[in-house]
Chains A and B, each alone.
Chain A
């Protein structure tokens, strides 16, 4: 490698690495803040929906609650079960959080701001979301407890089943955009007349939303941690900071699923062309604001579902995945490819 002096006498490659590190720091900081306040937001929203106030004690309207929770779990005793497989027990929550956080590398938050703009962005996201299950399985197995173990078994079967419709539901988007690069997908959407792929891919969006909820083990598909049957499922034996790491992984996973929904179906940081034509002054608002607003709507939707729907039974969960969602996703792929073949017989638009 030839060191070229670029700015301030710093070699080019060092400059590149520095920019990447700063980007990673910004993304991690921003997302971790969102994770902390997603818990607060959830408790507030569900509280209101159930006619309660939610956290009100720490700070005005309980606004400092997540910080208090963080400090508390950091200083709590870390209890390890006697017969636990210690290395795996220590590793499991970190593995889960690592998989969730590395997905953030390919998520573009606004035009040009992405840590790694790679051509297989969407595939990378699939890969990382399929790795998130290792934290759950290994945590459940190594705890040497029946509740954890059953939670882990349920989680692994559920995540494997729902990965299939999750991947298939996005194939329609890939076909329409003709790319796996997420930035390209968003740009293709802004060229598309409707401005958002949800208009044409509503079936894919439906399948995606349902399987994303199952993939992140959220209610009504939170069978791996069903309190009434399994205490807390796979993290029954965890305490203190490791317990908090599992929570962070779950909420980061949720934010990533919402980001994929926003980027692939809701137009990412762009606005539909007809809206911009109607109200051109909206174009002056930075893209990250639109991205964040769409993201908050999606996260709110998660909470709304949690407060509304009861938990599914395990066999119902499996039959929804295999008998409803996968056929629907396949139908969506066939229809999308047929229409694309008729509209663009030569290939990529």
Chain B
């Protein structure tokens, strides 16, 4: 009962803040609504017994990525942009595409069948804590995909450095 109440609260706020984030003319306010959105997503994770993911959500998205967003936005000349009537003229097209995607997701959700449950049930997670469980699975069963993902990130980092580097003659 209380879980459901919290779920409805979180999902309502998530929908509301994401709408506010994309409709604000002041980009700074949009980013702040997005920050609120990230917190509520972290809250949802917490109610799914995923405390590690929830903390990482706040650290990575709210603590690092949003700060970088703010950093970039502060360097833009915001006060002139606010006077513009509209930022994106093609928004009806975007609405069409995103509602198409929403339809696909809804149809998938109605016909979804959950597979067999793995070994990591709630009782097992509570015994070993979720951080241990994620670490164990990631570094044994999924070691190869994990390393591939880290290589992709490394490529991105090196690419950014190469692009930003001054040529010394």
A160-B68 in contact (CB<8A)? yes
What are 14 A-B contacts with C-beta separation under 8 Å?
A: A85-B26, A119-B51, A123-B52, A123-B56, A127-B58, A130-B58, A137-B67, A137-B74, A141-B28, A141-B74, A153-B75, A156-B71, A179-B129, A180-B131
Q: Assuming the A-B contacts A1-B2, A88-B28, A124-B55, are A163 and B63 also in contact, with contact meaning beta carbons closer than 8 angstroms in the complex?
A: yes
CA distance A348 to B29 in the complex (A): 46
Q: Which of B51, B59, B64, B70 contacts A137 (CB 8 A)?
A: B70
B62-A130 in contact (CB<8A)? yes
Nearest residue, chain B, Cβ from A123: B55
B68-A119 in contact (CB<8A)? no
Tell me if B32 is interfacial: C-beta within 8 Å of chain A.
yes
With a cutoff of 8 Å between Cβ atoms, the chain B residues found around residue A118 in the complex are 51
List 4 extra interface pairs beyond A141-B28, A163-B63, CB under 8 A: A1-B1, A123-B59, A156-B71, A160-B67
Tell me if A329 is interfacial: C-beta within 8 Å of chain B.
no
Q: Which of B32, B59, B74 contacts A130 (CB 8 A)?
A: B59
Q: B141 to chain A: closest CB distance in Å?
A: 16
Tell me if A149 is interfacial: C-beta within 8 Å of chain B.
yes
Tell me if A159 is interfacial: C-beta within 8 Å of chain B.
yes
B129-A130 in contact (CB<8A)? no
Q: B60 to chain A: closest CB distance in Å?
A: 9
A134-B131 in contact (CB<8A)? no
B55-A157 in contact (CB<8A)? no
CA distance A76 to B59 in the complex (A): 36
Tell me if A126 is interfacial: C-beta within 8 Å of chain B.
yes
Q: Assuming the A-B contacts A88-B28, A141-B28, A156-B70, are A127 and B59 also in contact, with contact meaning beta carbons closer than 8 angstroms in the complex?
A: yes
CA distance A180 to B35 in the complex (A): 25
Q: Which of A119, A126, A134, A152 contacts B74 (CB 8 A)?
A: A152
Nearest residue, chain A, Cβ from B129: A119
Q: Which of A120, A127, A149, A152 contacts B63 (CB 8 A)?
A: A127
Q: Which of A124, A127, A149, A179 contacts B62 (CB 8 A)?
A: A127
A153-B51 in contact (CB<8A)? no
A-B interface pairs (CB < 8 A), number: 74
Tell me if A131 is interfacial: C-beta within 8 Å of chain B.
yes
We find that the number of chain B residues with CB closer than 8 angstroms to chain A is 27
CA distance A180 to B59 in the complex (A): 15
CA distance A70 to B26 in the complex (A): 35
With a cutoff of 8 Å between Cβ atoms, the chain A residues found around residue B1 in the complex are 1
With a cutoff of 8 Å between Cβ atoms, the chain A residues found around residue B26 in the complex are 85
Q: A125 to chain B: closest CB distance in Å?
A: 10
With a cutoff of 8 Å between Cβ atoms, the chain A residues found around residue B62 in the complex are 127, 130-131
CA distance A159 to B66 in the complex (A): 13
| Contact residues, B121-146 vs A (CB, 8 A) | 129-132
A131-B63 in contact (CB<8A)? yes
With a cutoff of 8 Å between Cβ atoms, the chain B residues found around residue A123 in the complex are 52, 55-56, 59
Q: Which of B35, B51, B68, B75 contacts A134 (CB 8 A)?
A: B35
Task: Pick the most buried of A119, A124, A152, A153: most chain B CB atoms within 10 A of its CB.
Answer: A119
CA distance A251 to B136 in the complex (A): 38
Q: Which of A153, A160, A180 contacts B64 (CB 8 A)?
A: A160
A88-B63 in contact (CB<8A)? no
| Contact residues, A104-149 vs B (CB, 8 A) | 118-120, 123-124, 126-127, 130-131, 133-134, 137-138, 141, 149
CA distance A153 to B131 in the complex (A): 34
Q: A28 to chain B: closest CB distance in Å?
A: 21
CA distance A88 to B71 in the complex (A): 16
CA distance A262 to B28 in the complex (A): 38
CA distance A126 to B1 in the complex (A): 32
CA distance A343 to B54 in the complex (A): 32
CA distance A120 to B51 in the complex (A): 7
